Structure 1
């Protein structure tokens, strides 16, 4: 009888322990068959072009679910339109957490919106993972341990352009046309920081709105300054207009533009490949329309993915490529979580990525994170458009953030 009693006690203890483990992973948003993930995107409004990021993420998880999900669970990706309005982003995020019971927020677009929800999510210890913003303040685990960025720093991108200008075009006059928002200001400040004492070589800089109807006039003003270097930070559609305007004015400066607006198919070719010849950017992702990658398996799979999951957007849309690669990274984190999908473990695994290589990252650029390293992608590569393809300029570049981690 004593042996039987001890056996029954052992069974009860084991069941209780199993129940405790089960309860531990029973965070909101997690069942035996499902993981719910929240997201907000500008599917309408002035920045709706970047809604392609969310569409590609939705399509990626649809593909993953058809293949059996992640560790036996399907991903339910719940994404809402915040129209790039920070107050709407906060309202929608609260609804996703408090009403739709998502496990975490993933990949929401834009600096102002992510700033608006950051305190709310950190106070409740809810992961705010891989935000679609390159602002440095969204990568500070000492202040916001539940918020992690994904892409390289916008300000570091600006510094890289400054370093390039100083190395190859010392003493040349510079002008800049930057989008009048947080993104544009950060990139321009990075350019100024990188130039340091010679920032005086920036003869003219003009801030413009996304829906600015005077881009041609701005370009004309910049040309009259006599500058040889032109740095642009703005939306893809405006890149096309600006390149055309410069060509119409017979102005051919060294043209540097931000990587999120550098798609060959959607920005450069519409401007005329001959007009975009020589354009330079710093990037970390493969351009979906670049023939340089046509023989790689990932490039072969991409058109099939877009055709089957047409909600992802155009096959040559760099924003869609961005969304796909970010979703791949989240899937890797969730795989590493195994059956422990507690929010604590999600953050632990997000901070334990080691040399992870997304299929769409450029060669030599890998994802690494750590307890105090919340900037997953810390490298960029300068490339130049030859009228058909992007040609690399030098080696993969470390950002200052990367060097500080060593």
Structure 2
């Protein structure tokens, strides 16, 4: 992710003042946040797991530091990251979103999310619905189902690969409104629609 950020910044990559890593077994990331604040940086990117992102957001608040903060989508869940960080501490945090967060109140009446919760209650009652891997796995499975239906009775590897490279305007309702899946023999990327979102203290809002 750091390399992707540098590539995106291009000639401005030299404006990155510091980049610090951590081990998943580290008890906290407090020392890294203290060091990052000392650089005078006004923007903070957190490329980390939910636990460490929550710790970092809490520490930033404790330090009285107010950088423009971005977190990657894998940790951008209200239930598993922002609540442990403190919702009041998380106000203003941004992410690049492409999938609905089932813990976000803005989707509580969304037909897909309601159906998903019902499916989870019936099929996986002990699973944590705040864990983003559950909604993601469900969405991946729906896309695979669509692909296999598109294959018809020809389930050879060749046809599966051919159909995977020819998805046209497929709408997976787990994705944000407006997102369609299109692939081609020269473009295998499934997700190409991302919107910047900012946390209000209660929900994500599109920026």
Alignment of 1:219-234 (within 5 A): 219-234=33-48
Q: Deviations over 1:170-206 (max 9, x none)?
A: xxxxxxxxxxxxxxxxx11121122222222211111
8 Å CA contact 2:46, 2:71 repeated in 1: yes
Q: Distance in 1 between matches of 2:155 and 2:28?
A: 51
Decide which structure has the larger Cα Rg and report it: 1
Alignment of 1:261-276 (within 5 A): 261-276=75-90
Q: CA deviation at 1:274?
A: 0.2
2:160 equivalent in structure 1: 346
1:243 equivalent in structure 2: 57
Equivalent position SS for 1:372: coil
TM-score of the superposition, structure 2-length normalised?
0.95
Q: CA deviation at 1:312?
A: 7.5
8 Å CA contact 1:239, 1:267 repeated in 2: yes
Q: CA deviation at 1:311?
A: 6.3
8 Å CA contact 2:28, 2:52 repeated in 1: no
Equivalent position SS for 2:25: coil
Mark the runs of 5 or more structure 2 residues left unpaired by the alignment. none
2:2 to 188, 192, 196: 188
The answer to which structure has the higher strand fraction is: 1
Q: CA deviation at 1:296?
A: 1.5
In structure 2, relative to structure 1, the CA distance for the partners of 1:276 and 1:194 (3 Å cut) is: same
RMSD of aligned C-alpha atoms?
1.3
2:170 equivalent in structure 1: 356
User: Is 1:200 equivalent to 2:14 in the alignment?
Assistant: yes
TM-score of the superposition, structure 1-length normalised?
0.50
8 Å CA contact 1:337, 1:345 repeated in 2: yes
Q: CA deviation at 1:209?
A: 2.0
Q: Deviations over 1:248-306 (max 9, x none)?
A: 22222111011111001100011110001100000110011111112210121122111
Mark the runs of 5 or more structure 1 residues left unpaired by the alignment. 1-186, 394-406
In structure 2, relative to structure 1, the CA distance for the partners of 1:370 and 1:311 (3 Å cut) is: farther
8 Å CA contact 2:28, 2:55 repeated in 1: no
Alignment of 1:280-319 (within 5 A): 280-310=94-124, 313-319=127-133
